[in-house]
């Protein structure tokens, strides 16, 4: 058997905004449970979770960190997650490892956009939710108002399991032993609210409670309590101060006695594909079943190599177990197995259902890979977490010649570790673009390139992928003739061009009669045309949305070679497009921005100043969502503008929409810049 049975395991992610005290709270819990000697300090860089050099310098989490503790009969896996929006990919990708998402809210700052997003994402995944109001010692006077705010924001199902007492120097239990005096409200009233809410999911218990008026014990309430959590009918609220220790033992009791184990939670959303389609698949937390584990994080350790952090959902794994990664045909043999205590790796013999562990030197595994031990499970995967698309970008290249391959490998590892990063190869601009969730996110990635992989890079804003097109139909001609003493070159081409609808691309055809240009030479004409299209005709950007028709031409029995018709086709095309009139197209993106309703006027004014066209506006509680079409060139610095307009609480997504003609002033500036560049060459 594995060391911990599924009934005794609790998997809990500490999430929420940066500065809410998640890391300090984790330290307090570890220390209170005896997992560490004394709580470390974020300021001193001595905490279990924020143990990386970047995290110590920043004094904030930038990656999810797994740690464990024992309390009563329970083994509790705590996952400390980043609060900065820039690192939300690391937070979201770890959520499939847990049954419970604990949203930690700073008592002084209150509910913010990050807390709302985490509550929404956890609800969408069917995870049980818990709200922890931390730092109650610094905002004792506003705790009652904050509890009301939580209920207004997230619903009346948010009910306190304990309440602050003695000026927030301690908390008083409202569930197990509801006695004592709280700083506000009534312990007895809070207990009654909890019982009323819980028994609503159990008709038989409700009848006993209402008809006989009997007091219900915590043991009687346990099963319906879990059902209420699963159904989002109850979102418990707890009060703590990680700094003073208030509420810490009580929170451990709640984790151990009330939070769901892997048998009590909603089943993970596995999907199975077969010849009849895609079907839901329910994992069984049975240690004797086939292995089914899910990789939730990948690290590259300098000593252990590639480390795959995974959650066991079914079966058991021990050293030398043979596993398959996804749909791979060849199995690999499991080497050392680890539990994680922050950056410390503790070797274990076996891991069973519900446990979180790590495998070393597993090249076959990547984020979201399902590990299994039978080809019967080849086509099972977990419904992926939708990580927001990274839109903040930097064009990047190796500073030293010869480091290009080294850079490519380092970028691949960064993206493998961080699902919020993406690397794009832009064929139009010939740039390698590293994209992330924000300026801080990219800065941390660049630091890792230099410090961990010893790759120095140069960066600049990515080029805007403008395009060129024609305004009207036109005809072009070129007679290419060259004599060089020996065999000459001859090719003559007559062709026409005409515009196509926006987004149609390029079409090439011919209407030649009588074999004026042999069919064997038409590909050479097309090659010349495509060369000219790629180089651009007026501003140096590729042409698109046009049709070229070769109408006529002449050949020479000796001198008509492929190169002659490449050149003739290219020059005839340029002749035609200049007659047709050229214009520069700019890319437009669909921008969706969310922020506080109080910032709506500033947000719409900023979009209007950026040549944006508002498409839709919606109100979401005290938030506003705005959809607009905006030129890509106008949103390069949008993250900074949005932060300034919303006090850091706004978020946005970008998606390419289409091309349309740029304003004349923009077109003229691009044309002049291209001419100046050619003059310098």
The DSSP secondary-structure symbol of 638 reads H
Helix locations, 9-112, DSSP H: 22-32, 53-58, 88-94
SS3 of 574-637: the string is HHHHHHHCEEEEEEEEEEEEEEEHHHHHHHHHHHHHCCCEEEEEEEECCEEEEEEEEEHHHCCC
CATH code for the structural domain at 7-195+234-258: 3.40.50.300
In the predicted model, residues of the chain with pLDDT beneath 50 are 1-2
Element (H, E) at 359: strand 356-360
Tell me what pLDDT residue 59 has.
86
Our measurement of the distance from residue 74's CA atom to the centroid of its chain's CA atoms, rounded to an integer in Å, reads 32
Return d(Cα 517, Cα 529) in angstroms, integer: 15
392-460 and 584-665 in the same fold = yes
Q: How do the domains of the chain map onto residue ranges?
A: 7-195+234-258, 282-382, 392-460, 467-580, 584-665
Is 273 exposed, middle or buried, given 0-12, 13-18 or 19+ CB atoms closer than 10 A?
middle
Return d(Cα 89, Cα 62) in angstroms, integer: 10
Rounded-to-10 torsion of CA 208, 214, 217, 223: 10
Give yes or no for a contact between 294 and 404, defined as CB atoms under 8 angstroms apart: no
DSSP-assigned beta bridge partners for residue 477: 494
CATH class of domain segment(s) 282-382: mainly beta
Element (H, E) at 490: strand 489-499
CATH code for the structural domain at 392-460: 3.30.70.870
544 HSE (CA, 13 A, CB side): 19
pTM for this entry:
0.79
Helices 248-258 + 22-32 axis angle, to 10 = 80
Tell me what pLDDT residue 296 has.
96
Structure tokens at 553: 């031409």
**Rg of the Cα atoms in the chain:** 31
Name the 3-class secondary structure at 368.
Answer: coil
Return d(Cα 273, Cα 314) in angstroms, integer: 18
Q: Domain 584-665 falls in which CATH fold?
A: Alpha-Beta Plaits (3.30.70)
Structure tokens at 378: 């080849």
CATH code for the structural domain at 467-580: 3.30.230.10
Give yes or no for a contact between 624 and 649, defined as CB atoms under 8 angstroms apart: no
Is 444 exposed, middle or buried, given 0-12, 13-18 or 19+ CB atoms closer than 10 A?
buried
Tell me what pLDDT residue 354 has.
96
């Amino acid at each position: 058997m594995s060391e911990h049975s599924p009934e005794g395991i609790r998997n809990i992610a500490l999430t929420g905004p940066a500065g809410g005290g998640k890391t300090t709270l984790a330290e307090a819990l570890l220390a209170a449970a005896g997992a560490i000697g004394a709580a470390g300090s974020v300021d001193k860089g001595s905490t279990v979770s924020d143990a990386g050099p970047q995290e110590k310098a920043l004094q904030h989490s930038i990656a999810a960190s797994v740690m464990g503790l024992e309390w009563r009969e329970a083994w509790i896996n705590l996952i400390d997650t980043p609060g900065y929006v820039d690192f939300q990919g690391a937070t979201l990708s770890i959520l499939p490892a847990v049954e419970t998402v604990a949203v930690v809210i700073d008592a002084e700052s209150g509910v913010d956009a990050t807390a709302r997003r985490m509550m929404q994402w956890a609800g969408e995944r069917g995870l049980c939710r818990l709200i922890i109001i931390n730092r109650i010692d610094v905002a004792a006077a506003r705790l009652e108002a904050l509890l009301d705010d939580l209920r207004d924001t997230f619903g009346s199902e948010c009910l306190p399991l304990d309440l602050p007492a003695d000026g927030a120097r301690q908390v008083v239990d409202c569930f197990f032993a509801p006695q004592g005096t709280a700083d506000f409200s009534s312990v007895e009233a809070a207990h009654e609210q909890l019982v009323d809410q819980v028994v609503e999911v159990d008709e038989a218990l409700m009848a006993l409670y209402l008809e006989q008026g009997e007091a219900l014990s915590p043991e009687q309430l346990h099963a319906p309590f879990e059902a209420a959590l699963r159904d989002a009918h109850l979102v418990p609220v707890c009060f703590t101060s990680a700094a003073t220790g208030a509420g810490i033992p009580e929170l451990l009791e709640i984790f151990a006695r009330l939070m769901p184990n892997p048998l009590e939670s909603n089943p993970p959303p596995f999907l199975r594909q077969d010849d009849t389609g895609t079907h839901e698949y329910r994992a069984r937390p049975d240690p004797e079943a086939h292995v089914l584990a899910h990789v939730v994080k990948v690290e590259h350790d300098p000593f252990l190599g590639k480390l795959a952090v995974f959650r066991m959902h079914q079966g058991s794994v021990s050293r030398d177990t043979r596993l398959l990664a996804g749909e791979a045909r060849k199995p690999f043999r499991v080497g050392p197995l680890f539990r994680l205590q922050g950056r410390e790796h503790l070797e274990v013999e076996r891991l069973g259902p519900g446990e979180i562990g790590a495998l070393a030197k597993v090249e076959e595994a990547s984020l979201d890979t399902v590990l299994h031990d039978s080809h019967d499970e080849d086509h099972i995967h977990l419904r992926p977490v939708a990580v927001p698309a990274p839109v903040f970008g930097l064009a990047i290249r190796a500073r030293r010649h010869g480091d290009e391959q080294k850079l490519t490998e380092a970028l691949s590892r960064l993206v493998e570790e961080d699902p919020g990063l993406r690397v794009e190869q832009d064929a139009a601009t010939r740039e390698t673009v590293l994209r992330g969730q924000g300026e801080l996110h990219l800065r941390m990635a660049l630091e890792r390139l230099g410090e961990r992989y010893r790759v120095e890079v140069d960066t600049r804003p990515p080029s805007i992928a403008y395009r060129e097109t024609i305004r009207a139909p036109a005809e072009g001609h070129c007679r290419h003739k060259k004599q060089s003493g020996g065999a000459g070159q001859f090719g003559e081409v007559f062709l026409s061009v005409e515009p196509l609808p926006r987004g149609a691309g390029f079409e090439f055809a011919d209407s030649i009669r009588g074999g004026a240009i042999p069919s064997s030479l038409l590909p050479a004409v097309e090659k010349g045309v495509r060369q000219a299209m790629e180089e651009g005709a007026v501003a140096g950007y590729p042409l698109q949305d046009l049709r070229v028709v070769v109408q006529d031409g002449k050949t020479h029995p000796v001198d008509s070679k492929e190169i002659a018709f490449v050149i003739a086709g290219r020059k005839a095309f340029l002749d035609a497009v200049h007659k047709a009139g050229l214009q520069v197209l700019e890319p437009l993106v669909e921008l969706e921005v969310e922020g506080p309703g109080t910032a709506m006027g500033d947000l719409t004014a900023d979009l209007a100043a950026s040549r944006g066209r508002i498409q839709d506006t919606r109100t979401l509680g005290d938030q506003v969502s705005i959809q607009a079409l905006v030129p890509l060139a106008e949103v390069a610095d949008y993250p900074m503008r949005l932060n300034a307009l919303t006090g850091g609480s706004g978020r946005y997504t970008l998606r390419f929409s289409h091309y349309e003609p740029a304003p004349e002033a923009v077109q003229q500036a691009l044309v002049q810049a291209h001419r100046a560049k050619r003059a310098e060459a």
